[in-house]
Amino acid sequence: MKSIYLRNFVAIAALVSICFLIIALSFVGLGRQYLIGEYYKSMERSAEEVARTASAVSQTASLDSWILRMNVASLANAVGDHIFVTDAQGRICCCSDREPVCEHIGTVVPEQILRQAEDGTLEMRSDLGGVFRGRRYVKAAPILSPKGEIEGYVFVSNPTGSMLGAWTTFLTVAAGIAVVVFGIALGATMLYTRHMARPLDEMAAASRKFARGDFSVRVKQTEDPTDEMGALIESFNKMADSLEQAEKRRSEFIANISHELRTPMTTISGFADGILDGTIPPEQQRKYLRSIRDETRRLSRLVREMLSVSQAKARANNPAARCNFDLTELMLQTLLSFESRATKKDLDVDPQLPDEHLMVHADKDAITQVIYNLLDNAVKFSEKGSCLVLRLYKDNGKAYVSIKDRGETIPPEDLPFIFDRFHKSDRSRSLDKDGMGLGLYLVKTILNSHDEDIAVKSENGETEFVFTLPLAT
C-alpha cells in the first residue's frame, strides 16, 4: 500500500511539473512570436529608411548608383540585415553585399511578391522566388517619387538561423535554470510532504501500540496548535490521555470490584463450610449465620448500586423522561426523609430555599437520586451537632444547588477522583465501612447525562457540593 507521503509527493510533483510545462510552452510560444515581431518592426524601419534614401537619390541619380549602394551597405552592416533595392519591374539593381560582383544584381523578384510590396504590408518567410538559396524572413517597402509613383522596392531580409540564434541561446540558458528550479521545487516538495506526513506516521505507530494495550505513547507537537495538523495532534494526544486514564480506571475497577466481592464471598464461604463440617459448634452457628446475612446484604447493596449506575446511564439516552418540576419542593421532600438521621446526630439543618417556585427541566426521579445521595453523604460525614446548609438559587439561566456540611476535610489529592467509580478516600474509609464508592459516581453520571456538571470544594473542615440544572422554559 502506498504511503500518504508518497501519494502527496507524487501529486504535488505532478502539479509542479504541469505548471512548469504550461509556463514553458507559453513562454516559448509567446516569446518566439514576440521576438519575430520585434525583428519585423526593426526590418520595417530599415526598409522605410532605405526607401526614403532611395527616393532622394533617384532625383539626381539612378537606383544602381554607388551612393545608394554605400548607404544600403552601411545600414545593413549596422542592423545586421540583408538589403537590396529593385526597380519598378522587380529587377535587383542595388544590394548590400560587399562583393564587387553581387550574385543578386539583375535577378528579378516575382510579380506577385511585388504586388504585395506595393502597400508596404509584405511580411513573410520566403526565398522570394529563388532570389535566396533558403527561406528567410522578409519585409518590403515601396520607393515612391515626389509625385507618389512607384520607382522601385526595398527588400530587407534576415536568415531564420540568424534571427533565432540568440533566442535559441536564451532558451538553452532558461532551460538550464528551469531544470535547477524544478529540482529545488521537487526537493522542497519532498521535504514538505515528509514533514506533513511525519505526525500521521507517528499517529499510526501510536495507534498500533494502543491496539497492543500500550497507551503511554504521544505524538510530538511540532505544529502550530491553531492549524489543522496541530489541532489534530493535540486532539490525538488528548484522546491518548483519555484512553490511558480509562485503562487505569478499568484496571482499578476490576481490582476494586474483585476486592469488594472477594471479601464477603470468602466470609460467606468460610462460615458456611464451618457450619456444614461441624467446625463451628451449634451454639455459635446463629452468630455466624448473622455474619453470613450481613455479608449477603453487603453484596446485595453492591449489586443494587451497580444496577442503579447502569439504569442511570440508560436513562441518559431517554430525553422523554425529562419534564418540568419544582426543584424547591423536591429538595424539601427529599430533606424530610433524613429528618430522623439528622436528629440522631443533632444536626442543625439550614435550608436556604427561595420563596417562589423554581422550575427546572430534568428527569425528576434521577435528580431525586442525586439530591438523596448528596444529602446522605453530607449527613453521614457531618460532625455531630454541626450545621448542614442547603442552598438553592438561579444565575445565568441555570439553577444552582449547594449542599454544605462540616466535618473532616477531604484530602486535596483525593478531590480530582472523588467522583470515580469505587473510589474511597481516607475520609470515607474511616467513617463508612460499608460504602461501595458508587454514590458520587452515580451523581456524576446522572448530571453528565443532563449535560450539567458538579463541583466539590473542601477546606478548613467544610465540604460543599454544587451542581447545576437547566431552568424550565
Ranges of each domain in the chain: 46-161, 228-313, 319-470
CA distance 414 to 423: 9
Work out the number of other CB atoms within 10 angstroms of the CB of residue 191. Answer: 11
Pick among 2.60.40.1120, 3.10.20.30, 3.20.20.70, 3.30.565.10: CATH of 319-470: 3.30.565.10
CA distance 84 to 92: 7
Q: What is the pLDDT along the chain (473 residues), one digit of tens a residue?
A: 456 667 777 777 788 788 878 887 877 777 777 777 888 888 888 888 888 888 888 888 888 888 888 888 888 888 888 899 999 898 988 898 877 678 888 889 988 888 888 877 788 888 888 888 888 889 999 988 888 888 899 999 888 665 556 667 777 777 888 888 878 888 887 787 777 777 877 888 888 888 888 878 888 877 666 677 788 888 888 888 888 877 776 776 677 667 667 777 888 888 888 888 888 888 888 888 888 888 888 788 777 776 666 666 666 556 778 899 999 999 999 998 898 889 999 999 999 999 888 999 998 888 998 999 899 989 999 999 999 999 999 998 899 999 999 998 888 888 888 887 666 554 443 334 445 567 788 888 888 888 898 999 999 889 999 999 999 88
395 bridge partner residues: 398
What is the amino acid identity at position 355? D
Task: Please determine, looking at this structure, whether the domain spanning 228-313 carries the CATH number 1.10.287.130.
Answer: yes
Pick among 2.60.120.330, 3.40.50.620, 2.40.110.10, 3.30.450.20: CATH of 46-161: 3.30.450.20
- Report residue 145 as a C-alpha cell: 517619387
**Helices and strands per DSSP (H, E), number in the chain:** 11, 12
CA distance 469 to 360: 7
3-class state of residue 455 by DSSP: strand
- Report residue 399 as a C-alpha cell: 439553577
CA distance 198 to 202: 6
pTM over 0.75: no
**In this predicted structure, what is the pLDDT of residue 405?**
93
240: region left, alpha or beta (phi > 0 left; psi from -120 to 50 alpha): alpha
**In this predicted structure, what is the pLDDT of residue 437?**
62
- The enclosing H or E element of 190 equals helix 160-211
Backbone angles phi, psi at 390, to 5 degrees: -115, 125
Sign of the torsion angle spanned by Cα atoms 228, 230, 236, 242: negative
